[in-house]
A = this chain, B = another copy of it.
Amino acid sequence: MSLRETRIEKALLYLEPGPLALVTTSEGGKDNVMTISWTMPLDFDGHFAMATGPWNYSFKALKKTRECAVCIPPASMLETAAKIGSVSGADCDKFALFGLNAIASKTISAPCIEGCIACIESKVVKYMPSAGIFVLKATRLISDSRAPDKRIIHARGDGTFTADGQTFNFRKIIKDKLPPGL
């Protein structure tokens, strides 16, 4: 199982489904990670939005360093992802606490996380404080096409989560609307 560099256009495949994500930052020599599900694509060119604010410890690092990796954990990592979301990086080293293996990124300082289905190295394009929205651009994608569990997790907002179930293929119906290369 290993994460390999993948065509950047494919980042959309991991953002469009509305995944639970582990978002890493690195500031002052300290890596941190938050669990978040408030993201959405903005175009087919790697731009996407993320909503967060000062109530998240990672917010300060994200605003200052303008970099993060958006890592997509499989369903088998859900309990760890939930625990990551239950504590603050202000109080602990989450990588050590949860036994996460950091993988060095190539375009940013914040690390990727081993065991994820995919990690999207990303840079902040702008922050819109009136809406609490960061606009980001994917700068590099690594993904594991052989991951034993590729079920993306979806948070429901009430402490329950679902994993991807049945898959449906409607490429024929919407072929004219698909972005090139996907």
Instruction: Please report A residues at the B interface, Cβ cutoff 8 Å.
Output: 12-13, 15-19, 37-43, 49, 51, 75, 78-79, 82-83, 85-86, 126, 128, 130-133, 135, 151-152, 154-179, 182
Contact B40 A154 (CB under 8 A): no
| A126 partner residues in chain B, CB cutoff 8 A | 130-131
Contact B40 A132 (CB under 8 A): no
Contact B168 A161 (CB under 8 A): yes
Report the minimum CB–CB distance from A102 to chain B (whole Å): 23
| A182 partner residues in chain B, CB cutoff 8 A | 157-159
Report the minimum CB–CB distance from A87 to chain B (whole Å): 10
Bound-state CA distance A48–B25 (Å) is: 24
Contact A161 B170 (CB under 8 A): yes
A-B contact pairs, 16 of them (CB 8 A): A15-B157, A16-B37, A18-B18, A38-B40, A82-B174, A128-B128, A128-B131, A157-B182, A159-B171, A159-B178, A160-B168, A160-B169, A161-B170, A162-B166, A163-B168, A165-B166
Contact B128 A82 (CB under 8 A): no
| A19 partner residues in chain B, CB cutoff 8 A | 18
Bound-state CA distance A19–B49 (Å) is: 16
Contact A165 B168 (CB under 8 A): no
Bound-state CA distance A163–B41 (Å) is: 19
Bound-state CA distance A159–B169 (Å) is: 6
| A179 partner residues in chain B, CB cutoff 8 A | 157
